[in-house]
Chains A and B, each alone.
Chain A
Amino acid sequence: MTATPFSKVRLTGLLLLLLLAFLLDLSTGTVHISLKEILRVFFSPATADPIGQFIIKGIRLPKACTAVLAGCGLSVGGLQMQTLFRNPLADPSILGVTAGASLGVAAVMLAGGSMATLYAIKELGVSGSWLIIAAACVGAGSTMLLVLLLSRRLRDNVMMLIVGIMIGSITLALISIWQYFSNPEQVKDYLLWNFGSLGGVTGGQLLILAVVVVIGLIVASLSAKMLDALLLGENYARSMGLSARKARAVIICSTSLLAGSITAFCGPIGFIGIAVPHIARFLFNTASHRILIPACCLIGTILLLLCDTFAQLPGTQTVLPINIITSLIGAPLVVILLLRQTTVHSW
């Protein structure tokens, strides 16, 4: 299926919506900054109020950019998982990839708790963020590989899903052991990390995240054809000359890069990965990944930008952890969509 005019119109509409959501996210917050002032910050910085400039360019813009990256990455990662396992409930966190990433971060934050390691990490400076991203990716990647190794023996999707959840549980248990033996300060840091946040990623870190997510997305779009073929069953895919093992490897790499890097920088962000692919299929009524992948990017970004806007409503001085908001908005959305259709289609 190629991009129909119908799809093109909808994609363009979503793109406009995304721009609006982006502007909304930039213009709302605890401190009131008028739209005129925001325009001035971008187009004539010299005349803008320095505080407003700092808040827009230093705080809100990086956060909105992180929301765009995380929104794209998580929803495409979720789409890939749902197709690979042909299961509507699959998403990176459900199959233990996010837990694996958390385990990697916990290894750095908690087990690296021996003072010497912490000092070493401190000395590394910016490379400290590389260390965390690497640890999270190794954690996510190895968990996914384990899931896939087991998936070769288990043909049944439901069994596969259960196995994935079990692996996630084991991983979380390992983290709990670390937490139990770590001192309260480190555990608190880790718990805060676990709440998820779009606000802590700036400057060089944002650049690192952008590079990794873009690579993950490129790999994902290259795999669109494989994903389409996989939908028809592995035997069919093989008859088309596609090596199922190779396809899996590519998809795992892409998802691990996306989920691993986003989890490393923002903490685990739930529900975007599972909710957005369903919304995309519902809106575009297609199974073609060449449409679903950009659609997921747009919808995921819009959803996460809106979640971020709601997380820091004007009039309050605190910001709710993004993870709470995505679940609060994502879960009802999925329920509403399920109520409006009789079957989860396109499998």
Chain B
Amino acid sequence: MANKHRNLFLKVEAFHIKFGSILRPIDNHVDMKVLRPLTKFILLAFILSVLSCREGSAGKTPARPVQVPSSPAKSRIKFAQGFTIDYFDRYKEVKILNHSAGSADTLDYLLLPAGVAIPAGHAHAQVIRIPVQSMIVLGSPHIAQADFAGVADRITGVGDGQYIVCPVVREGLRTGRVRQVGLESGLNNELVISMRPGVLMTMTNPDAAFGGYRTLMDAGIPVLPNADWLETTPLGKAEWVKLMGALTDREDLVNRKFDSVEQAYQRLAAIGKASAIRPSVIIGMPFKGTWYMPAGDSYVAQLLRDAGANYHWSDTKGTGSLALNFETVAPVALTADFWLDVGDVDSKKEILSRDTRYEAFRAFRSGAVYSYNRRVNAAGASDYWESGAVNPQSVLADLIRILHPDALPADTLIYYKQIK
């Protein structure tokens, strides 16, 4: 038994040596002979878990299958509209959906354990070898998703380092373990190719022409648009963690954590929706006379509904923003009880320095101005855009605490702060 595992272990190690750059330090240079019994036991458990993760490798072991723990948990998508995960005997299939262009443009990904050949009929699919050991992520939510799945240390590259809050990645940037590859248009293809990541996650809208990434895909690097921002509900946005779970064979952990996020969110939403008083809110700040207000089907509007707010544009169509003129917003803004998401401002004085007219807003005078910049890094980037994406229950709790001070037990806000 131990021997068989040792063989497998060596096989795994050989695989790692072959793909040198993605070698993890834990399973390197271990001499089995000198191991003490307890350590041996732990290692055995580890190998078993490796076995259980590598469905394919396990399947390849001859004759009588070993009594390995049951295959990893499967993730079922309940809220997200942008992707699907299908589980097959020895592989997983992920589809990134393109709603505006119809199903014909769906992007197809095969998640194959090491050694498993590409199944027939998938000539156009991109292949991602799982569990993914190293990844380059271009968006802030991707970092939060990795952190959620406990694999933030597998991030080897980011788009722009100054926007990152996650301590693991920031430390990696400091030590040089994590490199900056540039954002979308300035993406350094040569650097990305030389880093040989297991996957490159982009913020690209899957609708957009994918041609810009052709070079990388030709170089054998799977490019995956992780477009959580297209989701229209906070839970749908957060559910993209399940994609991260599938990529790293951590469905079990991710499902468990997501279930508790979901339960917490639904519980809070029930409180928010049941509130008798519905304070009116306005969102954001105009720029050059145009006020971009979240449309009724956007996830911000959904958050506001769940928080029991009276949002004037809640019934409008569209998942993006409405470009309104100042005059349209003014009658609502002048009398609104709360003014939220004013951006990265720190004081009311700063708001006035942008435009003195804001002084006329009731919320401004009463001090009911809040923004999502409580947790910011040294460069001013807010964690709201990062971990907030996978913690909608915390964002909702903040909003309920702001809008209905008595609805929840008193506690400090997590993402929001009052602008004074």
Contacts and interface: CB of A to CB of B under 8 A. Distances in A.
A184 B184 contact: yes
B418 interface: no
A192 B290 CA distance: 9
A30 B327 contact: yes
A334 interface: no
A114 to B, nearest CB: 9
Chain B contact-residue range equals: 20 to 34
A161 to B, nearest CB: 31
**Which of A29, A58, A203 has its CB near the most chain B CB atoms (within 10 A)?**
A58
A59 to B, nearest CB: 5
Given A29-B327, A128-B353, A318-B324, A199 B288 contact: yes
B173 interface: no
Nearest to A122: B350
A51 B331 contact: yes
A198 B335 CA distance: 25
Chain A contact-residue range equals: 35 or more
A55 B327 contact: yes
Interface stretch (B100-108, B113-121, B354-362): B354-362
B353 A126 contact: yes
Contact of A30 (B160, B162, B325): B325
B326 interface: yes
Given A31-B328, A197-B289, A202-B356, A50 B185 contact: no
B379 interface: yes
A31 B331 contact: yes
B162 A115 contact: yes
B370 to A, nearest CB: 19
Nearest to A51: B331
Interface string A249-288: 0000000000000000001000000000000000000000
B334 interface: yes
B289 A55 contact: no
A318 B186 CA distance: 33
B287 interface: yes
Contacts of A180: 185-186
Interface in A97-123: 115, 119, 122
A192 B287 contact: yes
Interface in B145-165: 160, 162
B183 A199 contact: no
B155 to A, nearest CB: 19
Contact of B325 (A125, A199, A267): A199
A180 B185 CA distance: 7
A58 to B, nearest CB: 5
Nearest to A181: B186
Given A128-B353, A200-B288, A51 B330 contact: yes
A271 to B, nearest CB: 19
Interface in B286-304: 286-290
Given A31-B330, A58-B360, A197-B290, A318 B162 contact: no
A126 B186 CA distance: 33
A126 B328 CA distance: 26
A50 B334 contact: yes
B322 A317 contact: yes
A310 to B, nearest CB: 13
B362 to A, nearest CB: 10
B380 A119 contact: yes
Contact of A54 (B322, B324, B325, B360): B360
B323 interface: yes
**Which of A181, A203, A319 has its CB near the most chain B CB atoms (within 10 A)?**
A319
A128 B350 CA distance: 11
A183 B160 contact: yes
Contact of A203 (B186, B287, B356, B380): B356
Given A128-B353, A312-B325, A317-B328, A200 B289 contact: yes
A289 interface: no
A21 to B, nearest CB: 18
Nearest to B160: A183
A119 B331 CA distance: 32
Contacts of A51: 330-331, 334-335
A125 B379 contact: no
Contacts of A203: 355-357
A321 B335 CA distance: 27
A119 B326 CA distance: 26
A128 B335 CA distance: 29
Contacts of B330: 31, 51, 54-55, 58-59
A140 B1 CA distance: 80
Contacts of B183: 183-184
Interface string A125-145: 110100000000000000000
Given A119-B380, A183-B160, A199-B325, A58 B357 contact: yes
B37 to A, nearest CB: 55
B364 to A, nearest CB: 12
Contacts of A195: 288
Contacts of B184: 184
A50 B361 CA distance: 11
A312 B327 contact: yes
By Cβ-Cβ distance, the 5 closest A-B pairs, closest first, are A199-B289, A319-B325, A200-B288, A197-B288, A125-B353
Given A54-B357, A267-B288, 13 more contacts: A31-B331, A125-B350, A128-B353, A180-B185, A184-B183, A192-B287, A197-B288, A200-B355, A202-B356, A312-B325, A318-B290, A319-B325, A319-B327
Interface of A: 29-31, 50-51, 54-55, 58-60, 63, 115, 119, 122, 125-126, 128, 180-181, 183-184, 189, 192-193, 195, 197-200, 202-204, 267, 312, 317-319
23 contacts: A31-B328, A31-B331, A54-B357, A54-B360, A55-B327, A59-B327, A59-B357, A115-B162, A115-B379, A122-B350, A125-B349, A180-B185, A181-B186, A197-B289, A199-B289, A200-B286, A200-B288, A200-B355, A203-B356, A312-B325, A317-B322, A319-B325, A319-B327
Interface of B: 160, 162, 183-186, 286-290, 322-328, 330-331, 334-335, 349-350, 353, 355-357, 360, 379-380
